[in-house]
Structure 1
Amino acid sequence: MGFGGMFKKLTVFAVMVTIMATSVAAQPKPGCQSHCGNIGIPYPFGTRNGCYISSDFFINCNTSFNPPKAFLSDTEIEVLNISLDDGHLRVQYDKSIGYDCYDSSGPTSQGSSFFGHRKFSISYSRNKFTAIGCDTIAYFWGFYMLSNYSSGCLTVCNNVSDVINGSCSGIGCCQTAIPRGLQAYFFDFSSSRNHSSVLTFNPCSYVFIVEDGAYTFSTSDLSNLDFNKREYPLILDWTIGDQTCEEAKMDPKNYACKQNSACIDPESGPGYLCKCNHGFQGNPYLSIGCQDINECETLKPCNESGTCHNTLGSYNCSCPEGFEGDGRKNGTGCSPQPHRENFPILVVALGIGLSIGLLFLIFGVGWLYRTLQKRKYIKIKQKLFERNGGLLFQKKTSSNEGRLDKAELFSSKELEIATDQYNENRILGCGGQGMVYKGMLSDGRIVAVKKSKDCKRRTEVPLLVYEFIPNGTLSHLIHDQNEEYPRSWDIRLRIAAEVASAISYLHSSASIPIYHRDIKSSNILLDEKFRAKVSDFGTSRSISIDQTHLTTQVLGTFGYLDPEYFQSSQFTEKSDVYSFGVVIVELLTGKKAISTFGSQEKRGLVSYFMSSMEENHLLDIVDVEIGKDSQKDEVIAVSQLAKRCLNLDGRYRPTMKEVAMEIERLRTRQGDCIHTHQLKQAEVIARKSIESWDFTSFSTEHYPNCSITSTSESDVHPLML
């Protein structure tokens, strides 16, 4: 038989084994339905009570279709394929595409699609968030690891000729990844030009999450009014329970992995999967477990001179008596054994001596290596200490220079003990630069320790130790339903004045001007007397006095981001003014910068506020706790100030110094009382239309406890106000 014929024969055997393993792995529980139409239903899934491992794995086989269709539990999610090997479900949903249509008079129809399942998450590695349109900002809101999550992408084009078939890189079509552990989501849209320049060839925007590779963009999709009626597949990740493998093995009665199988902790999230060990096949979740594969019968792996012996999970090919070598077809083959004489005793003794000497040499080299590594580690720690300014810090502390009389140096060991080895239960919050842990020093002081994301084993980046601030953030004060928090108008106006004064100091009074770049209510801390302190300078930048802006990659928080900065990537001091304007509106209305409830227009707080001002409905949206007649003029005055801060053209926004002076004047009530009809209306400058935008993606994450702490209130440094 020639080599080609042998290769074909081996290929056929391999295919036979694959088919047999697949059919065995798709086995249902004994006595249960094995298929629904063309879909195999392997255990732990099942079509009736007693056939599935839990109610989450119930498959509703709807026989009203021909052939019957399988649906997941009591949902409208159709199951296309169930994979035991990698824990994936291929599904589709007839309402999976969200849409937003326009005509010359404006939006004519809008759609928002919702998808979710209580147990199975949407695969982050095998799906893509996709948007189609020529004037479209599409994003989705979802639940990620028990937290809220939003992400999206931007797609623009001016003519059909700009678009390339098959390309989804931001011109007519854009795609972005989704987070790991996403369990539910719904879509939303916005546009910069209300489709005014693209109505003729792109009347609708579409958004959907689809299996990676299952959708190919076509220019005809831009004008297809029925595109939302299409159905595309997506992949769900499923696991057993919510325990890790180690935890599940401690409960043998409910442990799902049966005989000759292994437990796997997937990357998709909580729970575990089972897989047959190498050399075994079957359904690892059934009581009979995985069965040994008899490779001698299925593969015929030995050559003509070798004898095959099947073993549990494997096999071997032995050579005939008097021969040695490997009898497998792809092995070295069997060859006659050479004539051997007994080794002399001297040779055996020499071998033993050499072995003992080699062991001593290995132990000696290992001891020397550990000693050298320990010395190297000590030198590296000293270099890192010096590089990060440790010697200068020690000198200033000992000499009481630089207002560091109350600062202290802590060893990494002290901070590990204080935070219980950085236990997850000690996490206070998180930021763009690292995690914040609550700790207790040896003298009983409560502190917050900020650990950088770039912090390695040898502490290449210093850790920061702050005083623990008890009253959380301004976001908690405004939005949390806690009756103990004071929310009077005087408190809110005082907080606004303190924050404005701090930012004004950064811009105008510091020796080197500083742009904060991430001003938001969750970055404003409140001490025990509810005094405001601006925090989280992880993205802040200092500039020279002759500079007017920074050109950087767009960073910040969606809802607080200056639109000019988002378009031009140029951050100015007026960008901080815009973000502060959003904080003022939060103080006035008690609403979040981005809301997932209410009508479409209420999801962006700034646009909602500005439209209410233009329509003279301001007092309808003011928080009921401050909407009193006695302070009506002050509320309107502060609202007008916020409107100026939120001007789309940064040139017409006030400086932070002007904002701080205006708020302080209102607080002290100096001069004549300002009446509504005397307030000067801020000039609204329309943003120039943009001929073409570059593709961009944006993503924000919302954590329930993302507050960080600042330094002691006594001996306050201006940057920590």
Structure 2
Amino acid sequence: MALCGMLLKRQQLLMLGLIVLAATKASQPNSSCGNVSCGNVNIPYPFGTKEGCYRDESFLITCDNTSETTPKPFLSLSKLPVLNISLEGELLVSTSIARRYSNASIIGADNKLSKFPLSVKRNRFTVVGCNTSAFITRYSTGKDYVTGCTSLCNQYSVVNGSCFGIGCCQTPIPKGVTDYVVEFWPIGEHNSNNSDFGFVVEEGADNFSLDPENLENRKTAPVVLDWAVGNETCLQAKRNSDSYACKAENSTCYNSTNGPGYRCNCSSGFEGNPYLEHGCEDIDECQNSPSPCAKNEKCTNLPGSHKCSCEDGYEQDTSTTGCHRVSQSKDIIIALCISIISLLVVLLGGSWILWGWKRRKHIRIKEKFFQQNGGLLLKQQLSSNQWSIERTKIFTSEELKKATNNYDENTILGQGGYGTVYKGTLSDNRVVAIKKSKIGDQSQIEQFINEVIVLTQISHRNVVKLFGCCLETEVPLLVYEFITNGTLCEHIHDKGRSSLLSWEKRLKIATETAEALAYLHSATSMPIIHRDVKTANILLDDNYTAKVADFGASRLVPLDQTQLTTLVQGTLGYLDPEYLQTSQLTEKSDVYSFGVVMAELLTGKKALSFDRPEIDRNLAISFVSAIKEDRLLQILETHIVNEGNIEQLKEVSNVAKRCLKLRGEDRPSMKEVATELEGLKSMEKLSLGSIDVNTKKTEYLLSATSHSFEIEGCSTSTTAEYDSMKVQLLKLVDNGR
């Protein structure tokens, strides 16, 4: 049984090999086929006369050598005599002439053409006779048709040998006709002495006359068939390189316009048989007579074309075609031109080398800054967080230079102790704020990179979104979304704007800012202390939605710590007194600064102003004192009192007072503040009631440390690092006690 199985498998493999071999033979003829002809007809491939020399059965030609005269070729499937085969896709054959005798009998009415259809352009259906109609019809293969014409005349009006409608008529052939039947329909009184003829004939065929006497002696008419390969389009056929018919290298394929299949042509400038490998050969146009080139031109043959150029000592004549001898003066001019061109090449080459050197130097500088600013660390951090990669872009210095018009002074939005902010427009038309940070030493680079990573993870509607950064410059650049409506500071202290900032909007801004700070303190992966909460760092959009910005002074708090020891930094008037004394930075430092922001929203006064009396210079102190002395309504902004809910104003003021407690442990968390403010937004207007003035005194522990402060301003601010500012601030705090 095993032996039988092995024999069966070998037989299957042998049959498969024969099938593959047959397919190979179908696509190319055997080398033994050679040039084939039958009688006076040349038979090029894909046609052939013997096995292995033709593409498929529709291209098989039978050569009849039995006749005593010249051998005659026939289409094997249809038995039609072949008169000529053209590689342009035309096949000239003989088909029978249908004839209706006077006794109404008909002969030669049926013609079958194999798979090749009648040529629409080269043939006409012709009827010769009087008072008769003839039609060619087909009722098969789902493509039925009827077409024909009518000839009306009498026996005396027939114009012999012509077909202009008298005794003869012609009509075009429809597409796709591969077999047809000729039918006659007599009209009126029919002349009983003459026959009627109906046939398809090549238009303008040589040695073929339409004269009735000539037709009486003929049985066939020359007809042109359109032949094509296969049933596929070029696109479909090219998918199978083995069966694809266009084998020549310099050949093209075009779809048949008359029936299925496609044809092949040699490319322009080549000739031969495109169906054979190496069948398309270059045409040597230079061998043509006359030469394709003008006088004094030499012809150079090229693959598929040729080139004409002037012979040595001649040049192109611009006035006429051809060349004329070069004069000696022109030789000098040419030599001079060559010298000038050579000099220009040297200069351009030197300039290019210099440009390349400068460019490489510029790239090295950018790479140096990139590494110096922690670029490698940033990439490493981003690669470990796929979400950050998607949200953060590392911009090139060229992108941001173009966005800010080379950091034009007119694009500056503000300047502060932590950098300069520019307005810019990116290539995608996004308007952004570009912050040029100030980094004092290399020890801060890692902290800066950590801040960038954390900021990319912040996703809160009330925190300005960070788009990315640039590290190719001397100092790092941060790219934020641009907020259109300025800062809260401008809206409060610009008299033209303050009246537009209603109490409802102010409470909304306070609530949204509190929610953002609560988010930074508790909802991020590592708590963030802003450290510079002030009205100048709260931006507003067109809907007065608050956006907390400027994280230049912010610090990350490890999860295992509740406070950080840092150099005291901040803005005078907003600075936490406890932080000032101890240098211990906690989340409650932001709470104190937020309390000052709330006091500004309620009173419309700046956090610190040396234009006010000394006792009122510090808003936090004077605000708490006003509550203690039951004169809150005297310091609140007038239009807020007029439009606000008095009870609501008192409650919000008490929240601000709690935020301004001198000891951090006595202050609420930002989450508690946000929750209380959200609840107060829904209060209805109530009458004025008593104000809780119970406060708790807290003593300060003074120390002699060095600090960095900012003097608040809405547009610009400056940084000062001197002890006199600290003394002034502590003096104001002591006055509040």
Instruction: Please classify the TM superposition score into its range, dividing by the shorter chain length.
Output: 0.3 to 0.5
TM-score (norm 2): 0.41
TM-score (norm 1): 0.42
Determine which structure has greater relative contact order: mean sequence separation of CA pairs < 8 Å that are 6+ residues apart, divided by chain length: 1
CA radius of gyration, larger in: 2
